[in-house]
Structure 1
Amino acid sequence: MHCERIPFPGKPKVFLDCYLLDSGLRLGQDTARPAVMICPGGGYVYLSPREAEPVAMAYAARGIHAFVLNYSLGWDTAGFAPLTELDWAIALLRSHAAEWHIDPQKILTCGFSAGGHLALAGGLLGQERPNGVILGYPAIDFSSSESALIRTLFDEQDDNAPWISLQTQVTPDSPPVFLFTTWDDAMTRRMSLELAMAYERYNVPMECHIFGRGPHGYSLANAASADGSSQVVSPHVEKWLELSVEWLFSVFGEPEMRDYSTSHIMDAIRELGIALPDDSDARQTLDNA
């Protein structure tokens, strides 16, 4: 894996953390892999580390390039600056697709809570729209009085601004969505159902999982992202990650598998200039080792 941090031009606090998999290890027979752009939550005032690198590592372990966008926070969000930064990050992936072995038609955003708002806004309102969106307990509606802080930070006085209620911005051209939350999560339960109904209205592909029990902020729902709190560990909710990977490949195509030896022993022996006896059984054994 190659890790790299790329700063946003002119904003030292904004940067993209890249977790690029070695292209020498094939995903099926494809060297171009899907990519997931992760937007951690935190109410646009901080970024939750539980929803950043642990999630990136989980997707990378499943053969998917992962990126974490560290976007503007607090007063720096004025004018919905994070959406511009997300556009920049997605454009960066597409411009480096060949070099980084990314399939430019399989770039998805993945966001949690307020990061889910950003991830979905990229899909519905962005200039560089992702091909799909993965949402974890997304806070996508800021029309209530409780959301006045967000509108203040964004310096937005217009109650009809398109980003305020993203479920109203769905169109027939919206990207496919995978969404999960819990029934106990009163903050995002209704928002999730409203988004699902908007997708149903336009017959846009969506997979929605509402698990029964659990608070807001599960992240991976396992020890890797729990930060020492047992409240956000649930083997049942933890299944969302595998479900999202299955969904990704079902929507964007399964990796093609062919009968191909993964051994490179014979190549290494040839590079050393060692001549082997003409024994097909021996060669087959080495090649399959």
Structure 2
Amino acid sequence: MKRPALALLFAAALPLAQAAAPDVMPLWPEGVPGARPGLGPERNEDGRTSNVSVPTLTVYGPAVDRPNGTAVIICPGGGYVRLSTQREGEQYAAWLSTLGVTSFVLKYRMAEFGHPAPLQDVLRAVRMVRRHAAELHVRADRIGVMGSSAGGHLAASAGTLFDHPLGRTGAELDAVSARPDFLMLLYPVITMDGPAVHAGSRKALLGARPDAATVKLMSVEQQVTARTPPTLLVHTQEDATVPVENSILFYQALTRARVPAEMVLFEHGSHGMGMRAGLGTASNWPRRAEEWLKDKGLLDPVK
């Protein structure tokens, strides 16, 4: 990527108070790997996005006067067949902006491409934000990935498979570290096997009959190491779509690897709750997440 192009790609690094609308950055300006031009147009309806063939990052700057330099790449959920862009992307970004955080809502490839395209997209997003941290007014050591449901699986994949060869495409940017500095996982899909699996996400990502090695690789609780970043997990006991055991499996793996982790489990709240009110104590998860971010020093002002 040539430096003159950055002025156009990264104008959205300005705070929201200075920018009329969020900017959209192409994730693969040199060309999408494995592009499939015959897929037809992208679809956007009722705040959801599907049939993605051109991945992007939409940038939301901090709304406060003193941005803290923390960046969060947001992966909306949708079972790897659609993206809940508004409820699990834009709304999260609006909340994070009030905390001084710069957010990047990721529009990633899904079932039309299958594995490893989503992994390539999220790791490319981390590399791009880290490489251009100065232009984006964020810190290269404060880049987190947040995801809900299948987006939580993608975020957890970024935190466990950041060095995997399948996440590289041969681009020059591959030399930049793709390891997130922290993870925030909301009712995430984690395992691709066993009684807790979300079969729809597995089929959309891996196909109807994936081989055993791929199932193991993408059961991300089996990929946790001491290098997996600090993680916050949020889930509910009432979740009838993605069982709470998914978060528990990941938390147990993090604990065995001695990775700092916090898990907040609520009794009430259905799957895909986003930031809805009226769900009892579960509606307070943003406050708990803010406390976790503060405890990690991620909301401290830039020095």
TM-score normalized by the length of structure 1: 0.77
Hey, what's the Cα distance between the residues in 2 that align with 1:95 and 1:257?
18
Hey, what's the Cα distance between the residues in 2 that align with 1:122 and 1:257?
25
> Is the 8 Å Cα contact of residues 191 and 221 (structure 2) preserved in structure 1?
yes
* Structure 1 residues 106 and 153: alpha-carbon distance in aligned structure 2, compared to 1, 3 A threshold: closer
Q: Identify unmatched segments of 5+ residues in structure 2.
A: 1-15, 33-52, 164-177
Bigger drift between 84-93 and 38-47 goes to 84-93
The answer for the alignment partner of 2:7 in structure 1 is none
Hey, what's the Cα distance between the residues in 2 that align with 1:124 and 1:138?
14
Hey, what's the Cα distance between the residues in 1 that align with 2:299 and 2:106?
26
> Is the 8 Å Cα contact of residues 62 and 98 (structure 2) preserved in structure 1?
no
* Structure 1 residues 151 and 160: alpha-carbon distance in aligned structure 2, compared to 1, 3 A threshold: farther
Match of 1:62 among 83, 99, 115: 99
Bigger drift between 42-51 and 249-258 goes to 249-258
> Is the 8 Å Cα contact of residues 79 and 201 (structure 2) preserved in structure 1?
no
Which residues in structure 2 correspond to 1:212-227 (within 5 Å)? 212-222=267-277
Counterpart amino acid of residue 166 in structure 1: V
> Is the 8 Å Cα contact of residues 182 and 189 (structure 1) preserved in structure 2?
yes
* Structure 1 residues 41 and 208: alpha-carbon distance in aligned structure 2, compared to 1, 3 A threshold: same
- 1:47-91 per-residue CA deviation (whole Å, 9 max, x = no partner) reads 0131110111111111110110000022212x3201111111111
Q: Does 1:16 align with 2:57?
A: yes
The answer for the alignment partner of 1:158 in structure 2 is 211
Hey, what's the Cα distance between the residues in 2 that align with 1:61 and 1:22?
6
Which residues in structure 2 correspond to 1:106-255 (within 5 Å)? 106-127=142-163, 128-144=178-194, 147=199, 150-151=202-203, 153-155=205-207, 157-161=210-214, 162-186=216-240, 187-222=242-277, 233-253=278-298, 255=300
Bigger drift between 178-187 and 155-164 goes to 155-164
Hey, what's the Cα distance between the residues in 1 that align with 2:229 and 2:79?
24
* Structure 1 residue 234: Cα displacement: 2.0
- Deviating beyond 6 angstroms after TM superposition, the runs of 4 or more aligned structure 1 residues are none
Counterpart amino acid of residue 142 in structure 1: M
The percent identity for this pair of structures is 33
Counterpart amino acid of residue 233 in structure 2: L
* Structure 1 residue 168: Cα displacement: 1.2
Counterpart amino acid of residue 228 in structure 2: S
Bigger drift between 165-174 and 102-111 goes to 165-174
* Structure 1 residues 244 and 93: alpha-carbon distance in aligned structure 2, compared to 1, 3 A threshold: same
* Structure 1 residue 36: Cα displacement: 0.8
Q: Does 1:6 align with 2:42?
A: no
The answer for the alignment partner of 2:48 in structure 1 is none
- 1:203-249 per-residue CA deviation (whole Å, 9 max, x = no partner) reads 21001000011211111123xxxxxxxxxx42521221121122122
- 1:124-177 per-residue CA deviation (whole Å, 9 max, x = no partner) reads 002401000000000111214762763464357322324431111111221110
TM-score normalized by the length of structure 2: 0.73
Number of residue pairs matched by the alignment: 242
Counterpart amino acid of residue 86 in structure 1: V
Partner of 2:274: helix, strand, or coil? coil
Partner of 2:127: helix, strand, or coil? helix
* Structure 1 residues 152 and 26: alpha-carbon distance in aligned structure 2, compared to 1, 3 A threshold: closer
> Could you say what the CA RMSD is over the residues aligned between the two structures, in angstroms?
2.3
Hey, what's the Cα distance between the residues in 1 that align with 2:121 and 2:99?
26
Hey, what's the Cα distance between the residues in 1 that align with 2:201 and 2:129?
32
